[in-house]
Structure 1
């Protein structure tokens, strides 16, 4: 069973999100918070696989909470769920190494797909946000682009590119005609070679390095 912390300041919205999430029997909202501060406090008390954070909440924003959670519990997956189509928010979320950034106008199936991808260690950015965010991110990183580590193989570079596109292990396996297990092994090797922690860092590395 997947344990989820849901942080949303509007009680009715929070209840609706909980119902949507739990239509998947493997997903369980085990704690609810109405502020960013409550969300961080809950992480001291319970173990969660995923934290879902609204951006605008009292006491502490979801972005501030995501930064603290990532610093203190690096293994927790983080999904930002928001109504705000704002490039600056998305950029800050990326800097905090969240696993997903999704607008609230999606349906239950989209929410569950995003949660699944985040749990797998993927990087999921809602399409409209990504269309605005990626050119800005690439422009910001343009002067910092460096050569990739020469120890990386062509296969590893291909997998890194797919990760930077937000693809799941299953999608990468299908597109590169590999088994999921082989993809996972390659990702582990990439993390070891580059001394990176997770797929989000692989995605950022792929965007800021060239062969």
Structure 2
């Protein structure tokens, strides 16, 4: 089954290069392109998209605002942020808004391809040097609103939250806990309801804030 990808990047030459890299994998096809967030929103209305590769700094509407609007209208859309700027503030905001990955354009091509596969499998990808800057920002909130609140989850659910926080996919979680992938998905659905969270990215952030990882 072909994964249909929308590439959002304002520089045409960069888009062409990224398209060549992405389509090295026979499972991936770039079916649409956009040069800013406004065009991306219009494109999603016209074309079936499975995953978006999104630049941050673009004219008219940047990747941060576009991510927020897209996830509001299409809450299940998978988005990977791709940028030349290793700025932890960008990562923090886009992850809060529902992006499932944040990698740098300076990464080797295979990093982009493995990141796409990981996100499609339900994982979360954060560039190592960005993660190093991002973790303290998340951890410093651990002692604020979450400090005295009990965690309304079972032991099994806490194990799953921890593994989601470590960026594991559903399949990896299932293997680690000797469960079926379907059972893991059911647990994650229950966790989202119990914690009143929107998606697994928020579960991962919750895990970090609560010191579970």
Aligned to 2:112: 111
Equivalenced residue count is 210
Aligned to 1:80: 81
Unpaired segments of 5 or more residues in structure 2? none
CA apart distance, 1:70:
0.8
**Separation (CA, whole Å) in 1 of partners of 2:30 and 2:174:** 30
Show CA shifts across 1:66-96 (max 9, x none).
Answer: 1110111111111100110111111111221
TM-score (norm 1): 0.90
| Larger deviation, residues 159-168 vs 139-148 | 139-148
Aligned to 1:33: 34
**Separation (CA, whole Å) in 2 of partners of 1:104 and 1:79:** 12
The question of 1:154 aligning with 2:167 is answered: no
Conserved in 1, the CA contact under 8 Å of 2:8 and 2:35?
A: yes
**Separation (CA, whole Å) in 2 of partners of 1:192 and 1:171:** 22
**Separation (CA, whole Å) in 2 of partners of 1:50 and 1:9:** 18
**Separation (CA, whole Å) in 1 of partners of 2:60 and 2:112:** 26
**Separation (CA, whole Å) in 1 of partners of 2:150 and 2:143:** 14
CA apart distance, 1:103:
0.7
| Larger deviation, residues 162-171 vs 24-33 | 162-171
Consecutive aligned runs of 4 or more in structure 1 exceeding 6 Å deviation: none
Name the SS of the counterpart of 1:105 in structure 2: coil
How do 1:53-68 and structure 2 match up within 5 A?
Answer: 53-68=54-69
TM-score (norm 2): 0.90
